[in-house]
A = this chain, B = another copy of it.
């Protein structure tokens, strides 16, 4: 009996995961468009085409749903990092690739969502209360970049007289969600170009200019 059951369970389980995926996608959409507080469980359910109660069979509540999204996006992002920077030869090239990846890559949308969610005062409490393993993810990301920066310093590419922490902070600043982006940048600058220039500024800022 078990042998028959297992595939059945798997099927159901598969459908269940598919639906969960749909919920997450819908939630991401609405969160992106309206932000946490203007996002209602009703609208998410409506976009998926399921009943509101069904969401609660997948997630214990709104906060948990959002945290799950947050976590998943973060994981996806972190998992993508290695692929992206693997091919690059130097630490600084890796950092540049990372910046480009987050602005232009397949996950640019998630990146922006992540970033906009991470800011926003409400998140603080949620992360503190129910953050769970998120801290680990965050630290993994931080240590990744920290390592790159320190390798850059060791390789003589980056300026050793600037604390790594500040470089880190400065690097993450480039990702900040800026709802006023368009106000500052207008429309006639592609993300590609923006990244190019941002990197130039940032790299020049942290580069080791010593002439040996």
Report whether A179 and B116 are in contact in the complex, using a CB–CB cutoff of 8 Å: no
Q: Which residues of chain B come closer than 8 Å to A207, judged between CB atoms? A: 204
Report whether B200 and A205 are in contact in the complex, using a CB–CB cutoff of 8 Å: yes
Which of A36, A180, A181 has the largest count of B CB atoms less than 10 A from its CB?
A: A180
Report whether A201 and B202 are in contact in the complex, using a CB–CB cutoff of 8 Å: yes
Decide if the interface of chain A is mainly helix, strand, loop or mixed: helix
In the complex, the chain B residue whose C-beta lies closest to that of A200 is B162
Q: Which residues of chain B come closer than 8 Å to A34, judged between CB atoms? A: 121-122, 125
In the complex, which residues 167-207 of chain A have their Cβ closer than 8 Å to any Cβ of chain B? 167-170, 172-174, 176-181, 183-186, 189, 194, 197-198, 200-207
Q: Which residues of chain B come closer than 8 Å to A203, judged between CB atoms? A: 205
In the complex, which residues 110-131 of chain A have their Cβ closer than 8 Å to any Cβ of chain B? 116, 118-125
Task: Give the complex CA separation of A179 and B121 in angstroms.
Answer: 7
Q: Which residues of chain B come closer than 8 Å to A184, judged between CB atoms? A: 142, 165, 168-169, 172
Q: How far, in Å, is A139 (CB) from chain B's closest CB?
A: 9
Q: Which residues of chain B come closer than 8 Å to A174, judged between CB atoms? A: 170, 173
- Supply 20 further A-B pairs (C-beta < 8 A) apart from A119-B179, A163-B197, A170-B202: A35-B121, A119-B178, A120-B179, A124-B179, A138-B183, A165-B185, A169-B184, A169-B194, A170-B201, A172-B178, A173-B173, A173-B174, A173-B176, A173-B178, A176-B177, A176-B178, A204-B204, A204-B205, A204-B207, A205-B206
Closest 10 pairs between A and B when the two form their complex, measured CB to CB: A35-B121, A205-B205, A201-B205, A176-B176, A37-B37, A166-B197, A204-B205, A169-B184, A173-B173, A35-B122
Name A's B-contacting residues (CB within 8 A): 32-38, 116, 118-125, 138, 142, 162-163, 165-170, 172-174, 176-181, 183-186, 189, 194, 197-198, 200-207, 209
A-B contact pairs, 21 of them (CB 8 A): A32-B121, A34-B121, A34-B122, A36-B37, A37-B37, A38-B122, A138-B183, A162-B200, A165-B184, A165-B186, A165-B189, A166-B189, A169-B185, A169-B194, A169-B198, A170-B201, A173-B173, A173-B174, A203-B205, A204-B209, A205-B206
